[in-house]
Structures are given as structure tokens and as C-alpha cells.
């Protein structure tokens, strides 16, 4: 099953808005805090609100797009800061933190073939940066990376990350199969991602994948949007038209939609707010 994840930096969305989008989790940021970036930082109060609504959080560190060129010492420094901010926001111990490689990375060893044994050389200073992160956080199982196809592929092959978040940007239409999330929707105030695994690094305060179910029921909006099903309608088309997902529409219609590939044209279906 595919899970929708919305990531945003300076914008804020209420739990009801996120549920309307069909999102089960959000990607939120940790960063070097100054007058330009303080509004980007995930806070404990924000994490509490998201957690209470059953929305997972994916911790992601990014200060500048070129962070990963800073080398080993910068990797250590930013990892220590990321861990401190993740913990202050209520993030559980043992949850991975993603680090952004938010640019089109060149091949730093173009004379070598694209094989796993050369991945480290082809990453250049990016490899040093992730070595610093690994040494601070405790290993690749606690380290994730965001970036295009080649950097995610090479970081996995170099044994420097345990989780990958690939963007379609700088990917040339390729998708690396080990990436836990794929970012493929870009909007003014947020981006859309899909995860095909149940554990993509998300957490809530007091919960992480593998913990017993807390019994928490996501808060749904009080108002509703209904659609009168017409001949030719499909759930996929309705999801696209209303800015949600097939799975979210199915969840809003318990007992009415039992097969997401089949839609009964005799009834109205709830599609959101």
C-alpha cells in the first residue's frame, strides 16, 4: 500500500487539512536556526498537534542546499544539532533522520564505471559528510538522505544510509528501488511524496513503527464533500480531481468501497471536507 507524505518548510497545515489531502505523515525540518530559518524548525508544540491527530512525522535536516559539500566535520556538527532538535521536538530515540542533498550532484569520479565499488569515489565530499553523520548518530541505520537518483543510489551502495528519499528532480526518469519515499508532486507551499513501505522513518510522540497500536483515531474534519458518482467515474479520477488519494476516499467510505478498482455508480461518495 502506498502512503502519502506531505513535506513543507515554512508553511503550516492543520491536521484536518492534512487528512483532507490524504496524508498519513509529514516531512518536517530541522535546521541551523537564525532570523531567516527559525520559522522552518519543527517544534514540540507542532509535533504534539500532529501526533494527537495520528499524523506521522519524518525528521529531515536541511540548512542550505549545499550542506552535503561541507565534509566530515560539518556532517558531525549538523548531525549533532539534528539529533538535539529531533529529541526536543519529541522524536523517539532510534528513529532515523534524513539529511538533504538538495542539488543536482555531479559525478566526482567520471573516469570510473558506475559500479558499487566506485560509489564512494563518485560521491566526493558528500561521502565525507555522511561519514560524519554516521559517526555522530550511530550508523547508517539511523541516517537517511534526500536527493536525486544518483546520490541516493551511491549512498546506499557506499553503505552510508539506511533510508532513501528520492525526488524525481535530477533523476532522469529513474527510480532507485531501495528508496523508501518518492517525491513527485511540487506545489507552491508543499511537496507530495509516496512511500511504498510501512516504515519510512516516521514517528509520533510516544510512538514509532513496531510499537503496539495506541488506539489513536485521526481527527477528521467536521464538514464534508460529497460527489455524485456518474458513468465513467473512477476512484483514481476522483482522487486527482479533489486533490486526495484513492486510499483516502476508500477510508472515508467504510463499507461502501471494498475494492478500490471498482466504484458503484448508484450512490454518492464522500471525497473530503
Task: Specify the 3-state DSSP secondary structure of 20.
Answer: helix
Q: Residues 106-161: pLDDT tens digits? A: 999 999 999 999 999 999 999 999 999 999 999 999 999 999 999 999 999 999 99
8 A C-beta contact, residue 154 and residue 181: no
Residue 210's pLDDT is what? 84
CA distance 18 to 15: 5
Residue 212's pLDDT is 72
Q: Is 143 helix (H, G, I), strand (E, B) or coil?
A: strand
User: Cα(76)–Cα(32) distance, rounded to whole angstroms?
Assistant: 13
Task: Quick: pLDDT tens for 165-223.
Answer: 999 999 999 999 999 999 999 999 999 999 999 999 999 999 999 887 654 444 444 44
Q: What is the pLDDT at residue 228? A: 61
**What stretches of the chain adopt beta strand conformation (E)?**
3-7, 23-30, 56-61, 97-100, 143-147, 163-167, 181-186, 191-195, 225-228, 268-272
What average pLDDT is seen over the chain?
A: 88
CA dihedral of residues 159, 161, 163, 167 (deg, nearest 10): -100
- Name the band, by pLDDT with cuts 50, 70 and 90, for residue 244: low
Rounded Cα gap, residues 251 and 235, in angstroms: 12
Q: Check: CB of residue 106 under 8 Å from CB of residue 140.
A: no
The pLDDT value recorded for residue 29 is 98
The residues, ordered by sequence, that sit 6+ positions from 217 with a Cβ below 8 Å of its Cβ are 54
Amino acid at each position: 500500500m502506498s502512503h502519502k507524505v506531505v513535506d513543507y518548510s515554512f508553511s503550516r497545515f492543520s491536521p484536518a487539512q492534512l487528512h483532507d489531502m490524504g496524508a498519513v505523515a509529514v516531512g518536517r525540518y530541522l535546521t541551523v536556526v537564525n532570523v531567516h530559518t527559525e520559522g522552518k524548525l519543527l517544534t514540540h508544540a507542532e509535533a504534539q498537534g500532529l501526533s494527537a491527530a495520528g499524523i506521522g512525522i519524518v525528521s529531515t535536516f536541511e540548512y542550505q542546499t549545499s550542506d552535503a559539500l561541507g565534509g566530515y566535520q560539518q556532517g558531525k556538527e549538523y548531525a549533532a544539532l539534528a539529533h538535539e532538535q529531533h529529541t526536543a521536538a519529541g522524536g523517539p530515540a532510534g528513529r532515523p533522520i534524513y539529511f538533504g542533498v538538495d542539488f543536482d550532484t555531479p559525478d566526482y569520479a567520471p573516469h570510473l564505471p558506475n559500479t558499487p565499488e566506485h560509489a564512494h569515489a563518485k560521491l566526493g565530499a558528500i561521502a565525507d559528510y555522511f561519514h560524519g553523520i554516521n559517526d555522530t548518530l550511530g550508523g547508517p541505520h539511523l541516517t537517511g538522505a534526500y536527493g536525486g537518483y544518483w546520490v541516493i543510489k551511491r549512498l546506499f551502495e557506499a553503505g552510508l544510509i539506511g533510508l532513501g528519499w528520492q525526488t524525481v528532480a535530477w533523476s532522469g526518469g529513474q527510480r532507485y528501488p531501495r528508496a523508501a519515499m518518492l517525491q513527485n508532486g511540487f506545489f507552491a507551499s508543499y511537496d507530495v511524496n509516496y512511500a511504498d513501505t510501512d516504515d519510512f522513518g516516521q514517528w509520533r510522540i510516544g510512538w514509532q513503527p513496531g510499537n503496539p497500536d495506541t488506539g489513536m483515531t485521526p481527527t477528521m474534519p467536521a464538514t464534508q464533500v460529497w460527489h455524485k458518482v456518474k458513468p465513467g467515474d473512477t476512484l483514481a479520477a476522483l482522487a486527482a480531481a479533489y486533490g486526495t488519494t484513492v486510499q483516502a476516499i476508500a477510508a472515508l467510505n467504510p463499507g461502501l468501497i471494498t475494492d478500490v478498482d471498482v466504484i458503484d455508480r448508484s450512490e454518492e461518495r464522500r471525497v473530503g471536507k
